[in-house]
Structure 1
Amino acid sequence: MDLKELFFISLGTAVIVYFGGKLLLFSRMLFPKICFPVSKSFFTSMGEWAVVTGASEGIGRAYAFAMAEQGLNVVLMSRTKVKLDQVAKEINDTTGKKVKVIVTDFVTENVFSDIENQLKDLNIGVLVNNVGMLPSMIPCKFLETAELDQTILKVINCNVKTVAKMCKIVLPRMENRRKGVIVNVSSGTASLPFPMYTLYAATKVFVERFSQGLQAEYKSKGIIIQAVAPFGVSTRMTAYQETNMVTLTPEDFVKSSLQYIRAGDKTHGSICHIVMGWLLQIIPLKILYAEPLLYSLQDYVKKKVAQRECSF
């Protein structure tokens, strides 16, 4: 066997091993209950309280209910007191768990000292950083965003600063107890540079990299830190799209995502979204970035938003 033949055999073997490993890892995602088992007492073993930001509706509300159903008391955080009080009553009536409401607007400055004071006496086992905002309901180019300077500040405060600050508040006591769970909600748009959602997608890339870096730092302390990056979930942010096998209800998505809590530092949260993430990686960017496709997306969202507004 000459050197050239040996090289190609070795290359072929390496490719088979590489893609075989990828296939094996992917196949584990099909069976989360078997591959990443979570005991009934898993979440309560982390602490007495779960803290959920952006908890008044959508994915945040679903996480709050899920944590209460798992046996934790819940701190609900958002800017709308009426909605938070309603969710708190529903959780208490349904599960009997204690609920604490903290009204705060994460787009503003200097809110975290008060939050830290209100959380300091709680044994927090789970933090869900869910709160987030779009620069615009209608996807558009960066310079077309209304009130761009203000919007940049608000989006970064809400989507980036809040994640880092809430982790700073909660992590020290988790580290001392050597246990805890932090779920940082990212977005499928962070899978690749995403025109028309450029600022939003970029902030969600931060959420993923920040989460992955923290997990590397604190995994040895017994703390799970995971970025969850959903694609289609029917919420106000997505103009309440009709649900199907790809677009899930917040409740179905959260139920699925919690099955992957031990699956690593990033997950798309459901098998259909995992497949979508994989497909996005193999579609040529030239196709995804074609202007007709981008403007079709813009028109589609405009219609969906208009339909939602007409229905209210």
Structure 2
Amino acid sequence: MNEDSFKHLSKHILLELSKANDALAITGLYFLSKKIFSSTCSVFQFIRTHVFSRATTPDLIKTYGGKWAVVTGSSCGIGKAYAEELAKRGLNLILISRDSRKLQQTAIQINEQYQVEVDFISITFDGDAGKYDRLKIELDKRDIGILVNNVGVMYDYPQHFLDVPSQRLWELVNVNIAATTVMTHLILSQMVERGKGAIVNLSAGGSSKPTPQMTVYAATKAYIDLFSRALNYEYKDYGITVQCLLPFYVGTKFSKISSKPGKLIHFIPSAECYASHAICTLGYSSRTCGYWLHSIQGCIVRAIPEWLWMWGASRLNQALRRQAKERLKSKSSKSLKEVDNG
């Protein structure tokens, strides 16, 4: 190869490299612009959902076309707190849960405090189809504008799959999946006929990724998330709003598992605090963590690789299991001492 040929080849290579660099630069600029646009939209949606939503108090009866709201799992925790928020806004309530005594107490309290009509129905969601048929007869008597599917069960404490009692596995399926699905089916038809209505389904913040030692619970909550998103797409043109709430730990739920939340306490709102924030997001977001600090947690969780999430979740759940067993052992020892003293 002579000198001229080498120079020509070098120029050709440099020209091709320059073109490749230009293409890479354009590609990089495209993805950077896409990322900036996506991040900007996320920030705007965060502000809209958690800031703008609290600036106004919409008329929920007018917006969703019914004077009544149904709340399942409403004898305590988020369900009770959400029911109170609905009552503050003038909706009459049908409270549904298992414990009739607690339901009656809650109904009386809300009635006296907010001067709204409050009915309650005691039911155990155990997969008995006949119970839903009887429930439908009662619900069809009312114009229901909002349904809150809050009822759910979780593990007593984190456990490996084979350590979870079979009875609890059935409860997870019948309560977390079946109850939400069938309750929605019972009430959605009257909302579609009216052309207005809202359904709020409670999932869980960690359901976006597999969670070892809470395996079945996380899977049932993932179902609620996917079910809600698809249902919202199907029925949004009929005037129906379907919202999925994905809370992380809330005071009452966390206290059942751990008595030592430690530095996480700032991220664990009370049920009342959570509900007061979550209800404001209705109509602003179809899928949200409901509480601004939980939404920040959600962004972090989505950014974490799945392997890292499962490793971290395993370590956390192992610690929570140890705490729970220590607490149970302490209670057992205390009970034995009381018996001996007696």
- After TM superposition, the score normalised by the length of structure 1 is 0.90
Q: What is the match of residue 290 of structure 2? A: 269
Q: Does 2:169 align with 1:152?
A: yes
Q: What is the match of residue 202 of structure 1? A: 219
The structure with the largest alpha-carbon Rg is 2
Q: What is the match of residue 8 of structure 1? A: 24
Q: Does 2:73 align with 1:54?
A: yes
Gap regions ≥5 residues in structure 1? none
The letter of the residue matching 1:200 is: Y
Q: Does 2:38 align with 1:18?
A: no
Q: Superposition pairs for residues 25-174 of structure 1, below 5 Å?
A: 25-28=41-44, 29-32=46-49, 35-36=52-53, 39-45=56-62, 46=64, 47-110=66-129, 111-134=131-154, 136-146=155-165, 148=166, 150-174=167-191
Measured after TM superposition, the shift of residue 9 of structure 1 is 2.4
Of 153-162 and 293-302, the range deviating more from structure 2: 293-302
Q: What is the match of residue 281 of structure 1? A: 302
Q: Does 2:266 align with 1:249?
A: no
- Between the aligned partners of 2:287 and 2:238, the Cα distance in structure 1 is 18
Contact 2:82–2:279 (Cα < 8 Å) also in 1:
no
The letter of the residue matching 1:208 is: D
**1:25–1:51 CA distance, 2 compared to 1 (3 A):** same
- Between the aligned partners of 2:302 and 2:50, the Cα distance in structure 1 is 26
Q: Secondary structure at the match of 2:234?
A: helix
- Between the aligned partners of 1:59 and 1:191, the Cα distance in structure 2 is 21
The letter of the residue matching 1:18 is: K
Q: What is the match of residue 296 of structure 1? A: 319
Deviation by residue 1:207-243 (Cα, 9 ceiling, x = unmatched): 0000000000111111110110100101156428668
Deviation by residue 1:35-82 (Cα, 9 ceiling, x = unmatched): 447853431112100000000000000111011111100000001110
- Between the aligned partners of 1:305 and 1:70, the Cα distance in structure 2 is 41
Of 243-252 and 95-104, the range deviating more from structure 2: 243-252
Identity of aligned residues (%): 29
Higher share of residues assigned helix: 2
In the comparison of the two structures, how many residue pairs are matched?
A: 308
**1:212–1:232 CA distance, 2 compared to 1 (3 A):** same
Superposition RMSD in Å: 2.5
